[in-house]
Structure 1
Amino acid sequence: MDKTTVTPFSHLTRKPPVAEPRPTSRTVHGVRLEDSYAWLRAKNWQEVIENPKAVPVEIGAYLKRENAFTAEALRPLEDLQKGLIAEMRGRIREDESEPPIRDGAYLYYERFRKRQQYPVFCRKPVDSKREEVLLDGPKEARAFDYFDIGAVLPSPNHALMAWAADTTGAESYVIRIRDLATGKDSDKLSRTSGEVVWGRDNTFFYYIELDKSQRPYRVMRHKLGDRQAADVEIFREVDTGWFVSLDCTQDDRYGFISVHDHETSEVLLLDLDDPSEVPAPIFPRVQGIEYDIEHHAGNLIIRTNHGGEAGFKAPDFRIVSLPVGQTDITKALLLVPETPGRVLESLNVLEDWLIWSDLGEDGPRIRVRNWTSGEDQVFAPRAAVGDISGMVGLEYVSDTLRLCFSSPTEPEMTLDRNLRTGEETILKVQEVPSGHDASLYRVERVFAPSHDGVMVPVTILSRKDTPRDGTAPALLYGYGSYGHALEADFETERLSLVDRGFVYVLAHVRGGMEKGFGWYRDGKREKKVNTFLDFIAVADFLVAEKYAAPKRIVANGVSAGGMLMGAIANMAGEKFAGIVAEVPFVDSLNTILDPTLPLTPPEWVEWGNPIEDKATFDTMLGYSPYDNIAAKHYPPMLVTGGLSDPRVTYWEPAKFVAKLRATMTGGGPILLHTNMGAGHGGASGRFEQLADIARVFAFAMEVTGTVPEAQV
């Protein structure tokens, strides 16, 4: 029997839940907006994010009915999902450990125990093999359904450790201080971002509190032994469109507060020797100017898009140097000029080395310069289509750069490179216990013409024995927002689809930074539609070039990529066998019109402010997935959400599904699965996460007719 002719989910006779329409309306910029499902947003939504059990009975019951319907739809695929989970788990070394990082007299590292979901944080003295377990993740997680570890940061004298955990998925962390000699905890601090910067005398630290909308908004100083109520406010950001974060320079001389939205930033220095210091900004806040800092020999080393002269910008960023205390950036010394089309992404500093990374059309690079000689070194991926990342460790006086290399076909290799001698020490090669032969696979980087002739980069992973004859199914993944670039790295779970004849495709659409800052700029605000049209163009390209069969492509996106899924469902749903929208930002216009929601004010920079600007309103009204659902045929869709998600609130996918079912004239089914005990990232345990992936893959196989007969 030809599985491609079988109607997906043909066994499903149960009717989907029906959300009662309760029409409401309002007028914005002279346009009447109708919303029949606004009631799915709980009046106590802030409480629900912090405590999912507080969800109103009616809403909770509705979401559970949706989950039951989805479970029924996927019931014939249960064996397939179990098989996928076992297969993906078989590619994970269960007792995996990370190479240690030296900090003073200790080597710090994390490892897993077999069959355990969470890591164990450990250290050993440099001159001994005696292991100390500092934080036992499985033990700490025992009482919780959800458990995510934030900071795990020893004090400068290595006698104490600050550690943070989120136990709801709301990204609200509790910080505790552990005495590493006794293993006992003290100083419980709630509603924090999970970030910590220690003072150098080990008696105090800085952390960030969240406001009632889950925004990290103020920096607090905590003296060990004090109650949280006695903590001192160091800095408060009153603009609800800005976030606050904390870090320290590599030499531990300064802490710094970074205040930012998506296109402007400000940095304030903290003297870690002086707990009474009042932080001051390095430069005044200027709209559209971003910068971050490091410290070297009395100078601030600054990565910035400031062009060096008033009114000029360097969109792809450059690196400059300025003495500490100097506030006129026009007097800065240029260290690394801007390279148009290659965005300078990160900056690190060691005593003898300046290190930065950049990204452009030909992939990522890591670059190193000796402070004394000025000699440069350049490191690139070791595969034609691949990825590279680097880290400098915890020490400032060091010649070691840790590098990681991988590609879609090749497992990750981690090595330490001595920047002075060139010697390389391989620390780890990612193990695939069930076996992996890279020679069986191929990866290609091709370019698809979009609607305006712009060429969109596309990464394609397949088995070499998968014919390029227009018959293969494909999973096409996209994101295209916030300048986030999709990496051509090794992800073992993809092999479960590829080994079943799928082509796995990454669409590097506009809105990311794969081709520099301009690529990002051309996929945001008034140009956002380019993101959607690029994705559709890549789907057409796959068919035209016979990488995939017509209507056997499954589209997949997460978060803002889920908004992309909603948009392409409305614009060109007929081109896809199915669409998977995970925690999707699909009620885009209503969310951005509501300044009381957690992320709305910060998002105005990314999408525009439709409250004040009619042009932005009109643009968003033209693509907002919820507002553009039409009376037409839609493909099968799997939509997911998280009840405690503070980023994309649970009611966005719920409303989208309810309206879609009530409006569409045929097609489907439309399935909604809400994780009732997790947030934006889904399940927290490393094996629990495999169930979420298996659900997506089983759906993709069902809608493309590739489920084996024995597993139907």
Structure 2
Amino acid sequence: MPDAVASQTTQPADAPVTPPVAERRPVTRTHHGDVVSDDYEWLRAKDDPDVVGHLVAENAWTHAQLAHLAPLRQQLFEEIKARTLETDLSLPSRDGGFWYYARTVEGKQYPIHARYAVSGPDDWTPRVLDPGVPVPGEEVLLDQNVEAEGHDFFSLGSLDVSDDGTLLLYATDTEGDERFTLRVRDLATGRDLGDEVRNTAPGAFFTPDGQFVFYPTVDEAWRPYRIWRHRVGTPSAQDVLVFEEPDERFWVGAALSRSKTYIEIALGSKVTSESWLLEAADPTGELQVVRTRREGVEYSVEHAVLPGPDGEPQDVLLVLHNDGAENFELTVLPVADLPATHWGRVVVPHSTDVRLEGVSASERYLVLHLRRDAISRSGVLRLGDLPRASREGPGEPGQAKAKKTQSAAGEQWAFEELSFGEPLESVGAGVGTWEQPNLRVGYASFVTPSAVYEYDVATGTRTLLKQQPVLGGYDPAEYAQRREWAVAEDGTRIPISLVWRRDKVTAAEHPAEPAPLILYGYGAYETAIDPYFSIPRLSLLDRGAVFAVAHVRGGGEMGRRWYDEGKLLRKRNSFTDFVAAARHLVATGWTAPDRMVADGGSAGGLLVGAAVNLAPELFAGVLADVPFVDALTSILDPSLPLTVVEWDEWGDPLHDPEVYAYMKSYTPYENVPADASHYPRILATTSFNDTRVLYVEPAKWVARLRAAGAPALLKIEMSAGHGGVSGRYARWEEIAFENAWTLDVLGLAD
């Protein structure tokens, strides 16, 4: 892809010499007696030629202002490309009689999905596949490059193969609006059947007999709310509605259990969940609720087969729930007890220090996914090591608390935690198919490229199967990572993760002199930002930048309470935590205000937008990707995509005046001062077809910032969605654009 970046961003001869000025067309809204005049709400009219013209002008101005960075963008793009093994293969995973994998080819934007046949029933270790060398017996299932031909955008939403290996289902989006068209392909002929279902959501799958496909669809607010059953070979008009959730706060999804015994339909709001089961052998049968939803109670289930009280195999559900257990506890519930009025016996009790996040089961072992001290961990337990289940039942509802204590004391399961010994690391054990004898363990850190190990469950030995290649002689010993702790306004300790290159930033406890630093944050939806390796980030570190993550409240790094203290009427904690992290990094000598860029995307864009309003003097720049900066306007309108489901996260300002006033006090767009000439440089990026954070939010924000004198730029992709452009080379160009701007702000562009 030579000169791809430079050719797109070189300043044209007719480059604008003044920034676009959005007209003031006041739109008045009134809520709870508060009258607001919004000068830029007219930019929401996506089909208005004036709106499109303004956005095109914003792009032209941004490219003109940053044209001097074209050589650096090209250099950064080439560095990503040079470090990446462009022709590569994923680690094959076995399912049934085949090993499935994806491979990439140099010069092609998208992966190719393929498989080869297993050599026999005991073939559980994948072949060593050499990149660029033809795979013996390879069968190409789907070449995304072929499917993407003629489209500016391409995304794959569903991909599944029938158990007998003869049919492929796949769903594609060519607009970026996350509406996918589902198709079924005959793998013997390579031709699509007549099956075509439009406007599906991701998550379609075959039933074990291959006769049916289950898939979700969304309502007008982009909420997955229906599950359908499609009989292969019939028109979509004959599809049967299996489940519909009328409550607009709840999302619905469906999946086949790993054992392929049940189809689970799971629905959840931000605070409440419910699961229904359908026997996979009878896909036209009746659904059975696991336990009827109760407001504020969340639970998830995993099917397992464990020894019962009499030693015979018993169908059970492993249930993670937070009923009286803030950080969740794990229980065992016999399927025979459904619909349940209890949670079953407790096998991993609640802990104030450990957040239980998930559980996976196979026919030989169980894996528990947990988090402690802001680090993700996985534990493994062999089924042969399980204590025998008690013959006693869970007790009557009035006895549940006492019985829970007895069960926890008598039958607590001990999982062996997996670690690789780094102070900051991400370890995740992945259970493959139900029959797979060994476990796969994924591992990465800020300095260690991601790797996958095979973990022998019987012996505890680990064998490296594949590690992310980094070309050009990468040496992890040249880089360092550490954890710092800031103190928030209320005394809460906020973890900060840092990574840097040793010969560029001399640091024992702290650097000898302030370093250029990028402070990243997210802080919403209980999402944890775990240590991860990034090839594009190396170009920043090699030029002397420090990369830091502020693990602010609202995220999930420190347990459920950490999340609860950064949402609803405590959301401001996220923003003040970020500011506290920035102040800590300045006070301890890691950086200086004129050498720090705040970086966040989506809800993280709200975070950095609010932080710059609170403390503009702390930052030299703010990079906001698809930022949720006009949150109050969006959350006030239930007709907009995803608004109602967000009320449990942010509050309901439409009906609650306290929430309205609170959100108005922090939303970035609402709080741009009349004079923002002292603000740092700001770059906001967005996508025209984004359905999660509409383009209008950053467009309005930049218009108001610029009118107030702030040096703000807007870059908008006209053929992309919430995740940005599609295709790996296009994505690298986008990253190079943002990183060049960041380096320029940090004084590292030369």
TM-score tier after normalising by the smaller chain length: over 0.9
Q: Which runs of 4+ in 1 moved over 6 A?
A: none
Tell me if structure 2 keeps the 8 A contact 1:175–1:194. Answer: no
Question: SS where residue 593 of structure 2 aligns?
Answer: coil
Question: 1:137 and 2:180 equivalent?
Answer: no
Q: 2:319 pairs with 273, 284, 303, which one? A: 303
Question: 1:510 and 2:517 equivalent?
Answer: no
CA positional deviation for 1:550: 2.8
CA positional deviation for 1:469: 2.9
Corresponding residue for 2:686?
641
Tell me if structure 1 keeps the 8 A contact 2:620–2:745. Answer: yes
Matches within 5 A, 1:123-202: 123-127=115-119, 129-186=136-193, 187-202=195-210
CA positional deviation for 1:238: 1.1
Deviation string, structure 1 residues 311-338 (Cα, Å, up to 9, x no partner): xx21111111111142335250112212
Corresponding residue for 1:49?
none
Distance 1:437 1:166 in 2: 39
Corresponding residue for 2:536?
493
Distance 2:488 2:283 in 1: 55
Corresponding residue for 1:266?
274
Q: 1:34 pairs with 27, 34, 37, which one? A: 37
Question: 1:349 and 2:361 equivalent?
Answer: yes
Deviation string, structure 1 residues 637-658 (Cα, Å, up to 9, x no partner): 0001111111001111111111
Query: Relative to 1, partners in 2 of residues 1:405 and 1:382: Cα closer, same or farther, differing over 3 Å?
Result: farther
Distance 1:612 1:517 in 2: 26
Corresponding residue for 2:425?
386
Question: 1:440 and 2:478 equivalent?
Answer: yes
Corresponding residue for 2:487?
449
Tell me if structure 2 keeps the 8 A contact 1:382–1:406. Answer: no
Matches within 5 A, 1:536-555: 536-555=579-598
Distance 2:616 2:718 in 1: 29
Corresponding residue for 1:310?
none
Q: 2:87 pairs with 88, 92, 95, which one? A: 95
Q: 1:319 pairs with 323, 327, 330, which one? A: 330
Question: 1:685 and 2:685 equivalent?
Answer: no
Question: SS where residue 728 of structure 2 aligns?
Answer: coil
Matches within 5 A, 1:234-633: 234-297=242-305, 298-307=314-323, 313-326=324-337, 327-330=339-342, 332-361=344-373, 363-374=375-386, 376-393=415-432, 395-465=433-503, 466-467=505-506, 468-632=511-675, 633=678
CA positional deviation for 1:480: 0.3
Tell me if structure 1 keeps the 8 A contact 2:319–2:343. Answer: no
Distance 1:339 1:184 in 2: 53
Distance 1:341 1:593 in 2: 37
Question: SS where residue 697 of structure 1 aligns?
Answer: helix
CA positional deviation for 1:421: 2.2
Distance 1:30 1:376 in 2: 56
Q: Which has the bigger relative contact order, CA under 8 A and spacing at least 6? A: 1
Question: SS where residue 453 of structure 1 aligns?
Answer: coil
Tell me if structure 1 keeps the 8 A contact 2:427–2:441. Answer: yes
Distance 1:491 1:329 in 2: 47
Tell me if structure 2 keeps the 8 A contact 1:156–1:201. Answer: yes
Tell me if structure 1 keeps the 8 A contact 2:159–2:205. Answer: no
Question: 1:658 and 2:700 equivalent?
Answer: no
How many percent of aligned residue pairs carry the same amino acid?
Answer: 38
Task: Give TM-score, length-normalised by structure 1.
Answer: 0.93
Q: 1:223 pairs with 220, 225, 231, which one? A: 231
Query: Which amino acid counterpart does residue 533 of structure 2 have in structure 1?
Result: F
Deviation string, structure 1 residues 192-243 (Cα, Å, up to 9, x no partner): 1121232222111110112222221101110111111111111111122211
Question: 1:212 and 2:216 equivalent?
Answer: no
Distance 1:429 1:233 in 2: 43
Question: SS where residue 687 of structure 1 aligns?
Answer: helix
Query: Which amino acid counterpart does residue 204 of structure 2 have in structure 1?
Result: V
Tell me if structure 2 keeps the 8 A contact 1:341–1:516. Answer: yes
Distance 2:36 2:223 in 1: 28
Deviation string, structure 1 residues 597-655 (Cα, Å, up to 9, x no partner): 11100000001111111111111011011111102321110001111111001111111
Q: Superposition RMSD on alpha carbons, in Å?
A: 1.6
Tell me if structure 1 keeps the 8 A contact 2:332–2:343. Answer: no
Query: Which amino acid counterpart does residue 480 of structure 1 have in structure 2?
Result: G
Task: Give TM-score, length-normalised by structure 2.
Answer: 0.88
Distance 2:138 2:549 in 1: 42
Query: Which amino acid counterpart does residue 688 of structure 1 have in structure 2?
Result: A
Q: Which 5+ residue runs of structure 1 have no aligned equivalent?
A: 1-8, 46-54, 308-312
CA positional deviation for 1:437: 1.1
Distance 1:501 1:199 in 2: 53
CA positional deviation for 1:425: 2.4
Q: Which 5+ residue runs of structure 2 have no aligned equivalent?
A: 1-10, 121-135, 306-313, 387-413
CA positional deviation for 1:113: 1.1
Distance 2:422 2:363 in 1: 31
Query: Which amino acid counterpart does residue 373 of structure 2 have in structure 1?
Result: E
CA positional deviation for 1:572: 0.9
CA positional deviation for 1:13: 8.2
Query: Relative to 1, partners in 2 of residues 1:381 and 1:630: Cα closer, same or farther, differing over 3 Å?
Result: farther
Corresponding residue for 1:69?
61
Question: 1:669 and 2:711 equivalent?
Answer: yes
CA positional deviation for 1:381: 4.1
CA positional deviation for 1:521: 0.7
Tell me if structure 1 keeps the 8 A contact 2:27–2:42. Answer: no
Query: Which amino acid counterpart does residue 378 of structure 2 have in structure 1?
Result: I
Query: Which amino acid counterpart does residue 380 of structure 1 have in structure 2?
Result: S
Query: Relative to 1, partners in 2 of residues 1:397 and 1:13: Cα closer, same or farther, differing over 3 Å?
Result: closer
Question: SS where residue 145 of structure 1 aligns?
Answer: coil
Deviation string, structure 1 residues 24-59 (Cα, Å, up to 9, x no partner): 2122111112211111112xx5xxxxxxxxx33221
Distance 2:184 2:512 in 1: 60
